[in-house]
Amino acid sequence: MLLQKSLAKIEALNPSKIFVENVRSIFGVSNLEARTWCEMAVKSNLFEKRIGLICPSPTCNKRIIAEYGSIKEIPVEITCDICEAEDNEEHIYSTDKLAKIEFYRLK
């Protein structure tokens, strides 16, 4: 029964956005162990590590507006399409001021 619940949670994950917290929660391990498992999956060529930029607008509700494979790929500024479409005055953001989140993608 416990295994079936874990499998159901794993199947519900978005394979293009696997967060350490999801892995930690599913397997009941520490944050460090979950991160280690994800990094091992990267080294085994199962996952790729990604960096997401989070829109600061309350309208976007902490949505990832862009993702990159490394810090070096991140441009100086980025436009949030949702904020722009909603005619928010502020829709172009300096990326050094945006929150970043690491996650993994199934290869």
pLDDT in tens, 66-81: 999 999 999 999 999 9
Q: Which amino acid is at 74?
A: I
Percent of the chain clearing pLDDT 90 (strictly above): 75
Closest CA to 50 of 26, 71, 36, 65: 71
- Give pLDDT, residue 9: 74
Q: pLDDT tens across 83-104, in order?
A: 999 988 899 999 999 999 999 9
pTM to 2 decimals? 0.84
pLDDT value of position 29: 93
The set of residues, in sequence order, having a beta carbon less than 8 Å from that of 6 and lying 6+ positions away, is 26, 27
**34 and 27 in contact (C-beta within 8 Å)?**
yes
Interatomic CA distance for residues 30 and 70, integer angstroms? 25
E-assigned strands of the chain? 47-54, 64-68, 77-79, 92-94, 99-106
Tell me the pLDDT band of 32, cut-offs 50, 70 and 90.
very high
